[in-house]
């Protein structure tokens, strides 16, 4: 629903009939209209599940293993890679090891053979399966899940102690990830030192993986100065967005743009496309009442 009228597209499995009207509104964050109805794809509840975790002595080997898995066509339901810092923070592994958490599930057939294929791929790249029954509370899988669910409460506790706890996510192609990973640790680390005078803990995990590349999710933890935490966070956030842009990684993978990511989105978005968005805004929302200032500024 837009101020200029209702835009209703056909329900189709796919179409080559010009630019998709659905894509115009998906991701527009309420600036062009409000989505009031949508078709949803449903699938049966999984009844077959299995999980495993694999440790790596070298993080680059773990990245190569995940790339092979993402391009294998085996489609794990869960494929999360924790770098050494994230693995230690989660209590999953120590000693500088990285950990890959794998999960498979199906509503129709057993999945043990598929999990075995995934683990074999990880072994081919130097991985070692971690002991413990799959999915049990004592396994690396269970430890990671528990840490993942606890983290929002830990973050709130850190904030009360004036600790800056920032997370940001991105996506890039496989060939650019190694340089991006090092740049984030170097450049964001330097920004933390400049803002706080202290060293930061900078960890990374893959939250999503695609055949074309990973979606790294970075965590930054540093001691803040009471009363100045927001200003220090702003400096660190700005540095992170600059680094992502310099390495042609997206400024946000799944957390949307809003107002925090606007500066980075302005640099990522092609300017002709910005003009198209402004033209669409003038047509669909001539009074400029829908989420003004999000994604782009209206022309004039």
Using one digit for the tens of pLDDT, what is the confidence trace for 195-218?
Answer: 999 999 999 999 999 999 999 999
E runs forming strands in 57-112: 78-82, 98-106
Q: Which domains does the chain have, with CATH numbers?
A: 1-42+269-300 (no CATH), 48-148 (3.30.70.3450), 162-262 (3.30.300.330)
pLDDT of residue 300: 55
Calculate ∠ Cα 217-67-189, nearest 5°.
30
CB 104 within 8 A of CB 157: no
pTM of the model: 0.90
Whole-number average pLDDT of the chain: 92
- Alpha-carbon distance of 66 to 129, in angstroms, equals 14
The share of the chain scoring above pLDDT 90, in percent, equals 81
pLDDT at position 35 over 60 = yes
pLDDT at position 137 over 50 = no
Strand order in 48-56's β-sheet? Answer: 128-129, 48-56, 98-106, 78-82, 201-210, 213-223, 163-169
pLDDT at position 150 over 80 = yes
What count of other Cβ atoms lies within 10 Å of the Cβ of residue 120? 10
Confidence of residue 297 (pLDDT cuts 50, 70, 90): confident
- Alpha-carbon distance of 259 to 295, in angstroms, equals 8
Q: Which of 85, 72, 80 is CA-nearest to residue 51?
A: 80
pLDDT of residue 155: 84
Q: Which of 288, 297, 229, 217 is CA-nearest to residue 254?
A: 217
Using one digit for the tens of pLDDT, what is the confidence trace for 94-135?
Answer: 899 999 999 999 999 999 999 999 999 999 999 999 875 444
Q: Which of 152, 129, 214, 138 is CA-nearest to residue 178?
A: 214
| 68-82, 138-152, 237-251, 276-290: range with lowest mean pLDDT | 138-152
3-state secondary structure 26-46: CCCCCCCCCCCCCCCCCCCCC
């Amino acid at each position: 629903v837009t101020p200029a009228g209702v835009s209703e597209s056909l329900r189709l499995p796919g179409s080559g009939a010009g630019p998709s009207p659905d894509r115009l509104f998906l991701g527009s964050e309420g600036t062009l209209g409000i989505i009031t109805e949508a078709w949803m794809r449903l699938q049966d509840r999984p009844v077959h599940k299995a999980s495993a975790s694999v440790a790596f002595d070298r993080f680059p080997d773990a990245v190569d293993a995940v790339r092979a898995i993402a391009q294998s066509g085996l489609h794990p339901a869960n494929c999360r890679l924790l770098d050494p810092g994230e693995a230690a923070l989660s209590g999953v592994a120590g000693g500088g090891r990285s950990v890959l958490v794998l999960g498979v599930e199906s509503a129709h057939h057993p999945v043990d053979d598929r999990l075995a294929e995934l683990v074999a791929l990880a072994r081919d790249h130097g991985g070692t399966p971690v002991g413990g029954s799959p999915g049990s509370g004592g396994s690396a899988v269970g430890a990671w899940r528990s840490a993942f669910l606890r983290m929002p409460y830990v973050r709130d506790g850190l904030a009360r102690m004036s600790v800056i706890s920032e997370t940001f996510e991105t996506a890039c192609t496989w060939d650019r990830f190694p340089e991006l990973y090092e740049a984030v640790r170097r450049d964001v680390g330097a920004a933390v030192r400049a803002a706080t005078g202290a060293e930061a803990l900078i960890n990374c995990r893959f939250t999503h993986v695609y055949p074309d590349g990973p979606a790294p999710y970075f965590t930054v933890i540093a001691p803040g100065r009471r009363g100045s935490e927001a200003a220090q966070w702003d400096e660190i956030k700005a540095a992170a967005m600059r680094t992502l842009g310099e390495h042609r990684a997206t400024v946000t993978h799944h957390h949307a743009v809003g107002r925090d990511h606007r500066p980075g989105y302005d640099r990522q978005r092609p300017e002709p496309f910005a003009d198209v968005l402004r033209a669409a805004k003038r047509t669909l929302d001539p009074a400029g009442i829908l989420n003004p200032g999000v994604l782009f500024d209206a022309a004039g």
